[in-house]
Chains A and B, each alone.
Chain A
Amino acid sequence: MASAVAAQTKYETVIGLEIHVQLKTATKLFCSCPTRFGAEQNRNTCPICLGNPGVLPVLNRQAVDFAILAGLALNCEIAPLTKFDRKQYFYPDLPKGYQISQYDRPICGMGYLEVMGQKIRITRAHLEEDAGKLVHAGAAGLAGSTHSLVDLNRAGVPLLEIVSEPDIRSSEQARAYAETLRNIVRYLGICDGNLEEGSLRCDANVSIRPMGATEYGTKAELKNMNSFRSIQRAIDYEVQRQIEIVESGERVVQESRLWNDATGTSAPMRSKEEAHDYRYFPEPDLRPLVIPVEWINDLKAKMPELPEQRLARLKDQFGLSDYDASVLVEFKELGDFFDEAAEYTTHYKALTNWLMGDITGYLKSSQKKLEDSKLTPKALAEMIAMVDSSKISTAIAKKLIPDMVETGKSAEALVEEQGLAQVSDEGEIRKICEQVIADNPDNVAQFRAGKEKLFGFFVGQAMKLSRGKANPELVNRLMGELLKQ
């Protein structure tokens, strides 16, 4: 183990990421089929995306909009003139025998992303169409299957491939880069950013070199990482593997490797699957696309708030802590909810506490997402106001959360229904306190003998007797007075 640590400090890790972003356009990149996820197999297809003879592609403008938005958010140069090319290979999930992609004139040129305080340069981002999916029959995977079925629902769905420079130096940074990028595309509203469902796909080019070296080592391309955690794990595994190879005097072989999350290892892909000469050439069915400055300016004007901007704003405008603000940025829906609720209340700290505490807790325990909740931002703000004005206690408010999430009813309506309004009537509370004192003569004696710790017990009993409705401050005061008598 000691030698492994020593070896790790001897080498520098060099990582470049290629991230495929599935764009959330209404229709496919070159035909008008819907892109909706989860439709019956081969239902979202037409002669164009099935690659029938005689069909022609027509470029989806919304996909171009999305690509430009991403390019702007990633500080990329947007190409004034971009074009499409055919990337050719035979595979049953590729209907035309070629993928329409972009080779030498990508829509987005050089840019960068700030991750963990460091600039990671972006080489390019280009538009391309997705392929279909093979379903292997007769076995769990390709191995052992008797035949394969093709589902072309995904064929032709727009992808934006974002390629970074080899500027990343650790698996942790790689993960942070991927997460930052995911947040950006989600904030732009151009992608769900879901690695598990494949709407975001990440390949990593990993190599090592002696500390201080300027030349790159031979890289391996890692594929099939289905979570941010597995990106980090796969890279860690690969770095260790390469160090061991180099330390034993061997050479790293350039290859593509498939990550297996279950075993925590990767294995080389069959060479047949990667030995391609793609024979790129300009797509003759599409004219080069001119992107005038007005088009870009138009999108700049429509650019939504990005994660970094929201972080700064949440701290600035609402005085939130670093931690609270970053949680609201990370979980975009929570942040959106906060922003909306903040229009109805000024108790921002209480708002974040409720959102990040009880509400998130209840959603988690009931396996729901915020989108499934019927709780409205306005209702939450009103509930906070009721607590603030002592109409209900915090304890009651906590009890109301599940009902508000499930039914969408206001706190006021629920309080009314369940008779939970806070009692602040002095006379009534005094009666309750007197009752508690009468019921617990032993404890009263002990308290009066100096065991002051018992005060909490009396208050608790009074709250219980009032079913939580008694104003705690009044209980405190009156109980104190009565016990001292």
Chain B
Amino acid sequence: MSKPFLSALELHQQIQAGERSAVEVLDETFSTIEKLDGQIQAFNALTKDIAYATANQVDQKVKAGETLPLLAGVPLALKDNIHMEGVKTTCSSKILQDYVAPFNATVTNHLNRHLIPIVGKTNMDEFAMGSSTENSAFNKTKNPWDVARVPGGSSGGSAAAVASGQTLISLGSDTGGSVRQPASLCGIVGLKPTYGLVSRYGLVAFASSLDQISPFAMNVSDLAALFQVIASPDTMDSTSIQDPPQVDYMAELNKPVEGLKIGYIAELLDAGLQPEVKAAIEKAIQTYRDMGAMVEAVSLPNIKYAIASYYIIATAEASSNLARYDGVRYGLREMDDKDIYQMYLATRAKGFGNEVKRRIMLGTFSLSSGYYDAYYGKAQKVRQLIRNDFSKAFSQFDFLIGPTSPTTAFKIGEKSSDPVQMYLSDIATIPVNLAGIPAISIPCGFDNQHLPIGLQLFGPHLSEAGLLRTAYAFETQTGLKNLRPEALATV
């Protein structure tokens, strides 16, 4: 890793120019994975054959003098809850341990059309339920900045793969912060798009009204490019926005932020932040002011109810979405000589981990007859209040800022015995999914132990271009991009 850093876009340009072949790039990628992943455990499985087939196509096109599609040849890691036809999609769960996807996710088709080699499926919290990737049935993914710490979650594998330099780009899914929080904890960038901009077809559902496939990268330009590849209407997803504005997300990155009105969310700065995190956010506020933006406090009074609302809505949807894992048609089946109900019980008892079971029970309870209005009904009302808070804020401000996570990466095992403590760490990310708006996490400094801190930028619906531009300006101003842990640089 001593060679000078290349961004995904630069790598793509070199491949296009014939300076390096896509196959050589893949060779290097797999040798890096071999060196690092025993320790990092970002991947559940590698998909070498498929990746090489794509790389060969890239090289043939280059030889034939053809123009490559965006990001062609740049290896990518895919979260293990997104389908690749003929490859296992395990969701890091025993219940899907041997489940082979029968079709490609829509985003997988986009990646294939762009000739982006998919090198493997990355580890995650089981069914994307968690904030540390510790709830995986298979692997313990480490934070590349300190292998005693978690990478965040649930897309911890995809974040760690990029942070450790195994790939330059990856895809995760963000239901309550599952991309932004690991991006923050791993010192990379992650974007949760507007709900409906990226197709969910082929993403194994956790909470359907909140889930959104989301990109990771080392810097905002690469992130914008990857987002450009995957954001597209899809008739297979009824919640997909069918006529989004046609935007070139990379074209506007250089526009200045001078004169922008930015609100920092007061509640999120008061919410028991680790002091270094608070200091870094305050410094970021100053940075924006220095760049000519107007930054003022804004209050979102209802976001203090976001966690309660989220854990009712998300678990209710999850309890329903996970009902299909019954052992009848696919996945794990624990046969019992008694009857079908015993088979259900045995299959689900053995197939699901504790956190998944906990959430299925929570969700089942809150939808039960007699409790619906008090829980699910009320949570939906709170969700609307939070949406209203955001719309009101966006009537005054172009964008909002705040922390991504109240703390930097915590130790493996530190919170795993206390689920409520773990849930509370999602306070800054969850409101975004409830409101369906886009948000991005970018590095904004380090704590005393040199662990990365993330800054979160929030935008109104479909404001991704402006959001990326606002993030890009900060990244350019501070130079906080393409961060790589020194410990790994010597590997």
Contact = CB atoms under 8 A, between A and B. Distances in A.
A220 B83 CA distance: 47
A245 to B, nearest CB: 28
Contacts of B322: 97
Which one of A55, A95, A280 has the greatest number of beta carbons of chain B within 10 Å?
A55
B340 A88 contact: no
A279 B364 CA distance: 8
Given A54-B83, A279-B364, A281-B376, A98 B320 contact: yes
A97 B320 contact: yes
A86 B326 contact: no
B5 interface: no
B324 A95 contact: yes
B324 A284 contact: no
Contact of B238 (A56, A86, A92, A281): A56
B201 A277 contact: no
B324 A281 contact: no
Contacts of B364: 279
Contact of B205 (A54, A150, A287): A54
A88 B89 contact: no
Interface string A365-408: 00000000000000000000000000000000000000000000
A469 interface: no
Interface of B is mostly: loop
Contact of A54 (B203, B325, B328): B203
B96 A277 contact: no
Contact of B101 (A50, A54, A97): A54
Given A56-B237, A281-B316, A97 B326 contact: yes
Interface string A27-64: 00000000000000000000100111111111100000
Interface string A139-172: 0000000001010000000000000000000000
Interface stretch (B180-188, B351-359, B365-373): B365-373
Nearest to A272: B341
Contacts of A92: 326, 328, 340
Contacts of B237: 56
A340 interface: no
A281 B320 contact: yes
Given A51-B329, A53-B91, A277 B320 contact: no
Interface string A86-102: 10101010011110000
A286 interface: yes
A96 B329 CA distance: 10
A88 B369 CA distance: 12
B72 to A, nearest CB: 25
Which one of A58, A90, A150, A281 has the greatest number of beta carbons of chain B within 10 Å?
A281
B205 A281 contact: no
A193 B89 CA distance: 43
A333 interface: no
Given A54-B205, A92-B340, A86 B320 contact: yes
A234 to B, nearest CB: 28
B328 A53 contact: no
A88 B236 contact: no
A178 B358 CA distance: 47
A54 B236 contact: no
A98 B323 contact: yes
B204 interface: yes
A95 B329 contact: yes
B324 A97 contact: yes
Contacts of A59: 238
A285 interface: yes
A150 B372 CA distance: 32
A286 B316 CA distance: 16
Interface residues of B, number: 45
Interface in B187-223: 200-205, 207-209
Interface string A337-356: 00000000000000000000
Interface in B356-393: 364, 367-369, 372, 376
Contacts of A51: 324, 329
A380 to B, nearest CB: 48
A288 B344 CA distance: 32
Contacts of B305: none
Nearest to B196: A287
Interface string A185-216: 00000000000000000000000000000000
Contacts of B83: 54
Contact of A281 (B203, B235, B323, B367): B367
A53 B239 contact: no
Interface in B81-136: 82-83, 89, 91, 96, 99, 101-103, 105
Contacts of A95: 324, 328-329
A174 B145 CA distance: 74
Nearest to B93: A53
Contacts of B209: 284
Contacts of A150: 328-329
A54 B105 contact: yes
A45 to B, nearest CB: 10
Contacts of A285: 205, 208, 238-239
Contacts of A277: 368-369
Given A57-B238, A95-B324, A279 B329 contact: no
Interface in A439-455: none
B96 A53 contact: yes
A409 to B, nearest CB: 51
Contacts of B326: 90, 92, 97
Interface in A70-114: 86, 88, 90, 92, 95-98
A56 B320 contact: no
Contacts of A47: 102-103
Interface string B295-326: 00000000000000000000011011011111
Contacts of A280: 367, 372
Interface string A256-295: 0000000000000000000001011100111100000000
B320 A58 contact: no
A289 to B, nearest CB: 10
A54 B323 contact: no
Contacts of A90: 323, 326, 341, 344
Contacts of A55: 201
B221 to A, nearest CB: 30
A156 to B, nearest CB: 13
A95 B235 CA distance: 22
A275 to B, nearest CB: 11
A52 B205 CA distance: 11
A52 B341 CA distance: 20
A181 to B, nearest CB: 31
Contact of A50 (B235, B329, B341, B369): B329
B208 A284 contact: yes
B89 A56 contact: no
A53 B320 contact: no
A467 to B, nearest CB: 69
Which one of B99, B105, B323, B344 has the greatest number of beta carbons of chain A within 10 Å?
B323
Interface in B241-288: none
29 contacts: A53-B96, A54-B82, A54-B83, A54-B103, A54-B105, A55-B201, A56-B201, A56-B236, A56-B237, A56-B238, A57-B238, A58-B235, A86-B320, A88-B320, A90-B326, A92-B326, A92-B328, A95-B328, A96-B323, A97-B323, A148-B340, A150-B328, A277-B368, A279-B369, A281-B316, A281-B320, A284-B208, A284-B239, A287-B239
Given A58-B236, A279-B368, A279-B372, 18 more contacts: A51-B324, A52-B102, A53-B91, A53-B324, A54-B103, A54-B201, A54-B205, A58-B238, A88-B320, A90-B344, A96-B323, A97-B322, A97-B326, A150-B328, A279-B319, A279-B367, A281-B320, A281-B367
Q: Which 8 A-B residue pairs are closest in the complex by CB-CB distance?
A: A97-B323, A284-B208, A284-B209, A279-B367, A53-B204, A277-B369, A54-B202, A51-B324
Interface of B: 82-83, 89, 91, 96, 99, 101-103, 105, 200-205, 207-209, 235-239, 316-317, 319-320, 322-326, 328-330, 340-341, 344, 364, 367-369, 372, 376
